[in-house]
Amino acid sequence: MTAIVRRSGGNPTNAPDGGLCLALGDMGSSEATLSSAIRTETAFTVNGLRVKMELDPRESLLDVLRERLGLTGTKKGCDHGQCGACTVHLDGRRIVSCLTPAVQVNGQAVTTIEGVAAPDGTLHPLQEAFIDNDALQCGYCTPGQVMSGLACIAEGHAGDDDEIREYLSGNLCRCGAYAGILAAVRETARRTDPRVGEG
Amino acid sequence: MRPFSYTAPATVAEAVDALAASGPGTKILAGGTTLYDLMKLDIEAPAAVVDVHRLTEIAAIDTTDPGEFSFGAAARMADVADDPVLRRDFPALAESLAKAASQQLRNMATVGGNLLQRTRCGYFRGGPAFPCNKREPGSGCAALGGLDRGHAIFGGSDTCVATYPGDWAVALRAFDAVVDVIGPRGERTVAIADLHVEPGDTPQREHTLAGDELIVRIRVPVAPSSRGSTYHKIRDRESYAFALVSVAAGVAFDDQGAVEDCRIALGGVATLPWRCPAAEMVLTGERLTEESALRAGEAAFAGARPRAHNVFKIELGIRTVADALRIAGERAVR
């Protein structure tokens, strides 16, 4: 299994149980505030790798992923559940990580955009379809769009263009790449399930 | 965000114990999509949080009893919206959930927590820069004389005109749902009609549950008009937005083709889920036509008190009622 931390700062150490364990100290300047709160031990997996940490219950899953685990593929847009940029999967279902207190995912499995491609780096067909269909401009919303698109297909909500649009409406793209995003999801859904029509 | 203590009881009994032991500053956390959001804005600042979002014993969806459907409070909005029996036999309920929020939020939010969703009034959410009697009792109301396009035209007071934002409760209101709650003093059942309250002089008080009472179940009697029902929601954009006007409507016909059961409730226009008995009476015993549906719509909006920027909601609302009745009528078994 490959390490999930792709940039320095997460400071992972091996926990006695073989899982990944991160120390609270890497929050830096927030330390003084955190010490007054009641910390809660939380264990979960991220992209298949076990994580165990002492969390302040105020911390969002989004902040834990980005600031503590160094998984910066998941983006912070509005931080209030309105834009979908922070979409990840929790036990296989898409959620917004900004409105999820990280302590709530105890015992559950988180999948982020970093866990979508194959271990050898081969992109998922939906990621390839985003490239083929020019489904991004600035790219900031793209990780959330891909996570949401994957779930949309898995849920069986990609039956036609109207349904795809409806079930991707929680992911905003201010560049306006919606036509390409729709095409990428439609194309991938059709490849996965031949019953899906032209839309 | 203010520090708070966090407990996640494993059972309803443990949750009741935790609530009994807790102080007045305790809040129940379920999906978190309202409470945690408002905590980030410092509008909610609980000293303690009791997390009930994974209490599986209150997450069951039961649509097997043809007389009454039952939804565990911790069931997710997405799961209830996708229930095939509900979609076929009670579309107003399924649509009220499917047309709310985004699939991500529907995967998180519970059908119990959704009932107590707090208003989206921008002055309430805007924080201390704006007076708000709901957030800070006695401070005033910036919406009175302010930008009030989204505000209520029914059920407001001199202290607050914030709109109740939910959809699910509007559909439940049209069909006389009840809510089972449990707390340290035992169990009780509250009619959905008695759950929410108008702002009056105390807009900070939005519902009749005590702080230590937990919603465990929502029960909805299946009505003759359940199958011929719809939740028709008009928004600024086609999806993922709060209602400008929404209508939960249900229609059933007698042997002669006259309406014998009619349900109309409004969302997006009132301070609480708004039932329209006068409009229902207009249609009862009559044939459903474009003309009679518009008359029902006019009756529904007869007592509206629009504000500076939302007069449009009356004409929009009348026509939305009529459209909802047409959709419901097409679905009704004749």
What tens digit of pLDDT does each residue of A99-138 get?
Answer: 999 999 999 999 999 999 999 999 999 999 999 999 999 9
Is the CB of B53 less than 8 angstroms away from the CB of A166? Answer: no
Q: What is the pLDDT along chain B (334 residues), one digit of tens a residue?
A: 999 999 999 999 999 999 999 888 999 999 999 999 999 999 999 999 999 999 999 999 999 999 999 999 999 999 999 999 999 999 999 999 999 999 999 999 999 999 999 999 999 999 999 999 999 999 999 999 999 999 999 999 999 999 999 999 999 999 999 999 999 999 999 999 999 999 999 999 999 999 999 999 999 999 999 999 999 999 999 999 999 999 999 999 999 999 999 999 999 999 999 999 999 999 999 999 999 999 999 999 999 999 999 999 999 999 999 999 999 999 998 7
Sheet containing strand B274-275, edge to edge, reads B229-234, B245-253, B259-267, B274-275
Nearest-CA distance from A8 to chain B in Å?
A: 27
Name the residue among B3, B49, B108 with its Cβ closest to that of A99.
B108
Nearest chain A residue to B47 by CA distance is A37
Chain B closest-CA separation from residue A151 CA (Å): 9
pTM: predicted TM-score of the whole model, two decimal places: 0.93
C-alpha pair distances (Å), B297 with each of A67, B153, B168, B236, B293: 53, 15, 21, 21, 6
Give the nearest chain A residue to B1 (CA atoms). Answer: A58
Compute the distance between CA of residue B91 and CA of residue B251 in angstroms, rounded to an integer: 12
Structure tokens given for B247: 């209508």
Helices A125-132 and A142-155 pack at an angle, to 10 degrees, of: 120
Do A57 and B4 lie within an 8 Å CB cutoff? yes
Cα separation, A108 vs A100, whole angstroms: 13
Q: Cβ of A169 under 8 Å from any chain B Cβ?
A: yes
Q: Chain A closest CA to B260's CA: distance in Å?
A: 34
* pLDDT, tens digit (0-9, with 9 covering 90-100), for A24-41: 334 444 444 444 457 899
> Which stretch of A4-8, A154-158, B175-179 has the lowest confidence by average pLDDT?
A4-8
The angle, 0 to 180 degrees and rounded to 10, between the axes of the packed helices A142-155 and A178-192 is 40
ipTM of the complex: 0.96
Closest CA in chain A for residue B108: A95
Q: Answer whether B65's CB lies under 8 Å from B85's CB.
A: no
pLDDT at site B156: 98
Residue B20 forms contact with A (CB below 8 Å) = no
Q: How large is the greatest C-alpha to C-alpha distance in chain A, in angstroms? A: 57
C-alpha–C-alpha distance, residues B113 and B33, integer Å: 9
CATH number, domain B5-54: 3.30.43.10
Distance from CA of A95 to the nearest CA of B (A): 4
Q: Of chain B residues 95-114, which have a CB less than 8 A from chain A?
A: 101-105, 107-108
Looking at the DSSP assignment, which residues form a beta bridge with residue B259? B253
Beta strand B48-51 pairing with B5-7: parallel
Taking CB atoms and an 8 Å limit, are A170 and B102 in contact across chains? yes
Tell me if A165 and B36 make a contact (CB, 8 A cut-off).
no
Between A and B, how many residue pairs show a Cβ–Cβ distance under 8 A? 87
- As a dihedral over the C-alpha atoms of residue A149, residue A154, residue A155, residue A160, rounded to 10 degrees, the angle is 60
Q: Does A165 touch chain B (CB under 8 A)?
A: yes
Q: Encoding tokens for residue A28?
A: 């830096």
pLDDT at position B226, please?
A: 98
For residues A9 and A86, the model is more confident at A86
Q: For an interface test with B, which of A33, A90, A165, A169 has the most B Cβ atoms less than 10 Å from its Cβ?
A: A169
CATH of B229-329, one of 3.30.2010.10, 3.30.390.50, 2.60.370.10, 1.10.260.40: 3.30.390.50
Residues from chain A contacting residue B41 (CB–CB below 8 Å): 80
The boundaries of every CATH 3.30.43.10 domain in chain B are 5-54
Q: Residue A192: its pLDDT value, please? A: 81
Cβ contacts of A38 on chain B, cutoff 8 Å? 3-6
Q: What is the pLDDT of residues A61-93, one digit of tens each?
A: 999 999 999 999 999 999 999 999 999 999 999
Query: What mean pLDDT, rounded, does chain A reach?
Result: 85
For B96, residues 6+ apart whose C-beta sits below 8 A from its C-beta are B167, B168, B170, B171, B231, B233, B246, B248
Nearest to A170 among B6, B54, B104 (CB): B104
Q: Which residues of A touch B33 (CB under 8 A)?
A: 81, 99
Domains (range + CATH), chain A? 12-115 (3.10.20.30), 125-192 (1.10.150.120)
Tokens of B225: 């008009």
CATH 3.30.390.50 residue window(s) in chain B? 229-329
